[in-house]
Amino acid sequence: MNTCMNEVKSEYLKEVIEKIKNKNSFEPEFIQAAEEVLLSLEPVIAANEEEYRDSALLERLIEPERIISFRVPWVDDNGKVQVNRGYRVQFNASIGPYKGGLRFHPTVNQSIMKFLGFEQIFKNALTGLPIGGGKGGSDFDPKGKSDLEVMKFCQSFMNELQKHIGQDTDVPAGDIGVGAREIGYLFGQFRKVRNTYEAGVLTGKGLEYGGSLARKEATGYGLMYFMREMLNANNLSIEGKRVIISGSGNVAIYACEKASQMGAKVIAMSDSNGCIYDENGINLDYIKEIKEVKRGRIKEYLNYVPSAKYMENDYGMPKIYTIPADIVLPCATQNDINLDTAKYLVNNGVIAIGEGANMPCSNEAVQYFIQNNVLLAPGKAANAGGVATSALEMSQNSLRDSWDFDTVDSRLEKIMINIFKQCQAASKTYNLGINYISAANISAFLKISNAMKAQGVI
């Protein structure tokens, strides 16, 4: 297991990592994501170093096929013109059309778009479905905006994005700040500007116009299917475990639902302001009401359950991580868990981490968990259920058909079981033990690199 640069034996790998750092020095999240993957590929690269070097495969893999960045002007409710920046990173289409979500959050920048697009290539390869990797979004902040403002922003964003996407080219979906409401406005504008009903151009659509049953639930449910497989393979089970979930958005809510269905007890959830702690088990109906209907703050849970406790975040570790739990599911954002938080969680007896979010643990935190025998379900594998079900939505759109909930959910479950099996197989071949992160990276890399090699120097 490679934990740091000075343990890397492959000269080619070292050179590529140095190049990434020099060429992208203002993109820390992208460097972090790329370095994590590249370090884990050592056994594969070392076995065939010349071939990889001669074809510059890694240099091609880390350079997006295309980055689109554009101005998004819109008029707010006070008649004032606002300007945001929009992005679409079309990273790698060797396995299928670019596929990946759109994130609307004030922190969005090119580094975050590139890290998400890069991770998406690997995640999508693991699903076994024909989808390449991409990501997009904007530094637009939907919080506190009226529906009308969100609609005007989405329309302006799509006026430009529509030039670059299509059901066989690039298929965006949701991510942080982009849910059914935004996808609806984006789809409406695409349809109007292009004068075509191309349902498969976006996924996460409403059920009335080409959306798939179980897409809303898919990422959270998929995370728990993967978690169950990982625990069972290590002679553990979900039943009766105490679970904490950071975030209270789409992924967090449906991870909570499935965890409870599987017999676990979810005792805490959070948003960016703080967390609620309910020793009797979170009542998810109230969370759905607060977050999906009212777009409110998690603190409002206390209006429904006065006996629960609320802890406001300060500049230190997010307060949710101070609550002892067996299973921790970071489902909010990147780098939520750093090394200090990882040490705190291990000290509190955590047995498993499930990355519902993309890159929620820093690379140091990941290594610390593995060294301390904490089972870690890596995001690229464990949260792939969302995009996998997006691909099932695309299939239904192509067939002009729609499948019932159980059909989609059981395909999702099979896909997640299969992703875990791929991780297990790679772990066995490369002697990685419980390092499922390296296993997932290697397994995805072999598929992507084979597709790239077969298609020549592109």
The contacts of residue 215 (CB under 8 Å, 6+ apart) are 203, 204, 386, 389, 390, 392, 393, 408
Chain-centre distance for alpha carbon 331:
9
Nearer Cβ to ligand NDP (143/421): 143
Residues 213-272 that bind ligand NDP (CB under 6 A): 219, 247-252, 271-272
163 included as an active-site residue = no
Does 100 interact with ligand 2IT (rule: CB under 6 A)? yes
Per CB under 6 A, does 211 bind ligand NDP? Answer: no
Determine if 102 is a binding residue for ligand NDP (CB under 6 A).
Answer: no
Residue 435 in the binding site for ligand NDP (CB under 6 A): no
* Pair 216, 254: CB distance under 8 Å: yes
**Which has the closest alpha carbon to 266: 282, 250, 277?**
282
Residue 216 binds ligand 2IT (CB under 6 A): no
Given ligand 2IT, ligand NDP, none, residue 242, with its beta carbon under 5 to 8 Å by kind, binds none
Residue 177 lies near ligand NDP (rule: CB under 6 A): yes
What's the CA gap between 455 and 424, in Å, rounded? 28
- Comparing CB distances to ligand NDP, the nearer of 2 and 120 is 120
- Count of residues engaged in binding ligand NDP, rule: CB under 6 A: 23
The residue number with the shortest CB distance to ligand NDP is 249
- Orientation angle between helical segments 28-40 and 363-371, nearest 10 degrees: 40
Least Cα distance to 358 among 328, 384, 320 occurs for 384
98 vs 301 by CB, closer to ligand 2IT: 98
Smallest separation, CB 220 to ligand NDP (Å):
8
Q: How far is CA 376 from CA 35, 231, 387, in A?
A: 18, 10, 20
Residue 456 CB, nearest approach to ligand NDP (Å): 31
CA distance 445 to 437: 12
Report which of 242, 232, 173 is spatially closest to residue 394, judged by C-alpha positions: 173
CB atoms closer than 10 angstroms to residue 232: 12
Pairing of strands 274-277, 265-270: antiparallel
29 is a site residue for ligand 2IT (CB under 6 A):
no
Q: Which region among 47-55, 88-96, 98-106, 257-265 touches ligand 2IT (by CB under 6 A)? A: 98-106
Catalytic: which of 99, 114, 123, 135? 135
CB of 386 to ligand 2IT, least distance (A): 4
Answer yes or no whether residue 175 interacts with ligand 2IT by CB under 6 A.
yes
Could you tell me if 409 and 429 are in contact, meaning their C-beta atoms sit under 8 angstroms apart?
A: no
One-letter amino acid for residue 104 of the chain: F
Sole binder of ligand NDP in the list 174, 184, 210, 378 (CB under 6 A): 174
Q: Which is nearer to ligand NDP, 43 or 64 (CB)?
A: 64
> What's the token pair of residue 442?
């290697």
Binding status of residue 291 toward ligand 2IT by CB under 6 A: no
Is position 117 an interface residue for ligand NDP (rule: CB under 6 A)?
A: no
